Structure 1
Amino acid sequence: MRRKKWVEAYSHSLEALARAREKLKFIVGFNVNIDAVKHVTRRDVERIMRHVSLSEVVKKVFSPPMKVESLEDFLAGLLLCLKEGIGEEWIITSSAISKKLEEVLGWDETRMGGQGGNMSNVLASLGQIAITNVPSLPSNQAELFYDENVLVPILTGEGVTFRHPREAVRLSDPPLIHWISEFKKGFSVNLDGLSFEAPRDNRFIATFDDVNARLQLAPGFREGSVLEAEDAVAAVVSGYHLLREKYSGGETCWEVLEDVVSLIKEWRSVNPELSIHAEMGFTASCVVRKAILNSVFPNVSSVGVNETELQIFHSPDHAKPLSSYSAPELYLKAKSILDKYRLKRVFIHTREYSMSIVRQSYGVHPEEEFMALLFGASLAATLAATGMPPTISRAKEMMNKGFEISEDGLREHKKLASLLDTEGEADYKLFVEHGFVYGDPGVVFVPSILVREVKATVGLGDTICSGTLVGEHLLKNARKKAQGSSA
């Protein structure tokens, strides 16, 4: 497909889904927090340097600890992400380090954080209802839910009621702060004779959060979500990357997972047709990765990953993940996971493109998935370009100004087409022309909209994930209604 055709396809998907006025219900769990965002400058890095052993930091950049037990670990994680242009999330192991970061680094702004929080806001802004787990709900967390379509279950003497988070504040709950260090392409740091320069915009996340680390369910969420499962079209579950191998009370990640997986099974017992999507995050621990693979993957319909997450879940024993944008390589690894865990869909989102591998049993046709991916990608590009909550009107405004398609994404599309043609899974010309191919599984590919001045890096995966899910279910429902009326 030529660039002009891709531009037309993006515009067509946005217009088509903007006309869909159906209000659907989604269950969203499990992690919600407050992101403390720092737009990192050289002065910020120099300030941290005054508190660390520089030689120790250099060692840790090349042998990453994958967790934050000191300021040296934090700076090593930031420099590793900067050097590779990747985004990772490491767990802070003590409140003392979190407090030290607040003193030394601080933040520029706070935003909604956590995949559950971000996806709830996107779903609600698209006119959908989100029944959301908010494990800690102080007033400053509640204010970050900006649409009335987000509802939290509340237990009362008469049963379960549903209210907007602002009307359900729990004053004794603590704010859960996650540290987001964003850097721009070209940002460079010299350290102990070495130079680090960012090849692309990205971020490093450091988290101290014992509540979300336990995938804690808010009071009433289990009861309320089970009550709403029959009417919901999908559930989106996330936060697993925050799990710890062991907890202070002696529990392990396996026991924590057992509780939330039992809830997923309850939803399914109420509504066997419920589509359940698990969105992954960067998971540093090999032990936790294996627990997720064995407990979560067999109990969901669909899994979403970026390129780094795909690598570490495909090869969970590898301590040092390698980030690759190669579409053929990612396709083969995603297909392996699809087959091994009997998933119905694996969704890969990178900066340059998005790709979906879809079984017929998922119930969404490849052409519908193609439209949904374009829709989700346009919303993610809107967030990246504006730094503001992505809405259809903002996406239209961005597109009306004109936009470019990622050259890297277009190249990877052709590489994947060559692989599929060689393997006998698709005709090269047809896949390049249409962006999708039918089969079991079907394959869908969409190059990203190129955003030259990035204003937000956090939440892009959450946005494309939730936007795509909305698109899928609106298009699927429209097809079923059309078939019903013509019968």
Structure 2
Amino acid sequence: MNILCGYNVNIDSVYRISGIEISELLETFEEAEILNKIKNPPGNIFSESDFVAGLAYCMKNGYGAEWLVFEQSVFEFLKTRYFGKSIVRMGGNAGIMANALSQLGASRVIPNVAVPSKTQLSLFSKKAIYFPEASTQITENERKEPEENKGAFSSRQEPIHFVFDFSEGETFSLYGTEVRVPRENRFIATCDHLNLRLFVNPAFEQYALQHACELDGVLISGFHLLLENYPDGLTYETILDDTFSQLKSWKAKNNKLRIHLEFGHFSSKKIANSVFLKFEEISDSFGMNEDELSMLYSLHGVPGEGLLHMEADAISNAAFRLASGHGLKKLMIHTREFVLAVFKNDFNSIPDSEFEMGESENPILQKVVGEKLEALAFGVKCAGAYAASGRLEGWEFVEKEAAKLQESPFGKKRIEAFVKAFNGKTFGQGAYILRENYIICMLPTMLSRSPITTVGLGDTLTAGTFLRGLELDVQA
């Protein structure tokens, strides 16, 4: 399988900060300025004091947050002070999914890398990743880099997300007042001006156009990084138009190309809704978690409380309404405890009358459901194996590691509730229901008691499910 991965690839610099360190850092800044910014968080970082206040604000309240850095001097401060003693790893949905696909057996994986620095390239898998070389040709749809005199960052600035983990129970002095961190969380200072624009590397663009007929699938993500307005006057609507045109040109060359759009944590419901509505026709599938599903309330009408509590009936109803109301082919909701997917009956193998009759013993229906659950199960195993080991080393490795894990007890209970609420049928470790012209499948996740990592599990699950789905389609 040859798969493109766009658009957001970055470097994560992960550092666990102690109470002593934040106490010492606070003392180097003016008390009144920091306390005022903690009381009225700026939400973005234009100065070193903005960063320190944001970090202290999150540690004081146990909050998680991600603030964008808009000044080169702050980037230099963070890189000089923390990068050398951080854990440096692959960041960005597209980067994580590309590595997962490469390790899981894809033939060729082509990622969009905004800034192919030595550090960034070193974080990619060595198995199937391919970096195309740029030619002198400038393509029609190439996304232009921001002009350097219009922004604080160099156009070749490495995209680094500085992730500051902090532990529950850590104490620090906030100008004489002792503060105890109420819960473990993280504060992220993001220096990533190219991915904020879904910048497309010209080499990636040229390769996609020239080799579209050889591609099997496209995984796209990073839309949650978009801003409503940019310093140079650019808007997210323009970026979405450009991206849509790009995908449309690929589809025009290969109508069998499968496109999956993976959501992320949007800071703006307006942008989240715009992304969904813009790409609902051209995308073959969407993926998101329960929080991201709740942001689309205006499109499905299911209150967020049930979704955030991972109630089976609420998530099933929201996913079904979203899929059926917009004619989606596939929608996947991945939570910590279970994964649920809604598939449209567009296989021409299951008559609509059999959906209405609920003839669940039909062998054709059983085959279709079995394949859909098989793809989901492989994704679940990949995520579980990655959480437990921090690695993905091919199919045999995934199966071996997953065999050591237990299914989520919470997820299994939610599946029981799903079957009871909708008169569903069990199938292997999962279950399914028929609803109008859709099949809804559900499967528990696999949990590790002592996970090595909890970052990128949704992306790993998505990559595994997408790859296995493509393979099953080809076999069919």
Output the TM-score relative to the length of structure 2: 0.79
User: 1:446 aligns to what SS in structure 2?
Assistant: strand
Structure 2: stretches of 5+ with no match in the other structure: 140-154, 349-366
Give the fraction of aligned pairs with identical amino acids, expressed as a percent: 26
Residue aligning to 2:242? 259
Provide the C-alpha distance between the structure 2 equivalents of 1:324 and 1:47, rounded to a whole number of angstroms: 39
The alpha-carbon deviation at position 93 of structure 1 amounts to 4.0
Letter in 1 for 2:330: R
Alignment partner of 1:349 is 2:351: no
Residue deviations 1:169-213 (CA, integer Å, cap 9, x gap): xxx9432101233467x6666887876544xx8655442211111
> How do 1:391-430 and structure 2 match up within 5 A?
391-400=394-403, 402-421=404-423, 426-427=424-425, 430=426
Residue aligning to 1:460? 457
Match of 1:239 among 202, 215, 222: 222
Change over 3 Å in CA distance of 1:272–1:204 after alignment to 2: farther
Residue aligning to 1:223? 206
CA contact (8 A) 1:30 1:239 kept: yes
Match of 1:212 among 182, 189, 195: 195
Provide the C-alpha distance between the structure 1 equivalents of 2:396 and 2:17, rounded to a whole number of angstroms: 31
Residue aligning to 2:13? 36
CA contact (8 A) 1:417 1:431 kept: no
Residue deviations 1:440-472 (CA, integer Å, cap 9, x gap): 321111211121212212211111000111111
The alpha-carbon deviation at position 102 of structure 1 amounts to 4.3
Change over 3 Å in CA distance of 1:445–1:67 after alignment to 2: farther
Change over 3 Å in CA distance of 1:453–1:202 after alignment to 2: farther
Residue deviations 1:267-307 (CA, integer Å, cap 9, x gap): 11112222110011111023422331332334312111112
Match of 1:120 among 98, 120, 126: 98
User: 1:383 aligns to what SS in structure 2?
Assistant: helix
| Matched positions, count | 428
Letter in 2 for 1:436: Y
CA contact (8 A) 1:32 1:212 kept: yes
CA contact (8 A) 1:178 1:207 kept: yes
Structure 1: stretches of 5+ with no match in the other structure: 1-23, 161-171, 481-487
Provide the C-alpha distance between the structure 2 equivalents of 1:391 and 1:79, rounded to a whole number of angstroms: 42
Letter in 2 for 1:118: I
> How do 1:5-404 and structure 2 match up within 5 A?
24-43=1-20, 46=23, 50=27, 59=39, 67-68=44-45, 70-71=50-51, 72-77=53-58, 82=62, 89-102=66-79, 108-128=86-106, 129-156=108-135, 173-182=156-165, 197-198=182-183, 203-315=186-298, 323-361=308-346, 365-389=368-392, 391-400=394-403, 402-404=404-406
User: 1:153 aligns to what SS in structure 2?
Assistant: coil
Q: RMSD of the alignment, in Å?
A: 3.5
Letter in 2 for 1:123: L
The alpha-carbon deviation at position 103 of structure 1 amounts to 5.9
Change over 3 Å in CA distance of 1:410–1:263 after alignment to 2: same
The alpha-carbon deviation at position 79 of structure 1 amounts to 6.3
Residue deviations 1:315-363 (CA, integer Å, cap 9, x gap): 59x9xx8743223222222222213332211111111111111112379
CA contact (8 A) 2:90 2:123 kept: yes
Provide the C-alpha distance between the structure 1 equivalents of 2:25 and 2:393, rounded to a whole number of angstroms: 34
Output the TM-score relative to the length of structure 1: 0.77
CA contact (8 A) 1:372 1:469 kept: yes
User: 2:454 aligns to what SS in structure 1?
Assistant: coil
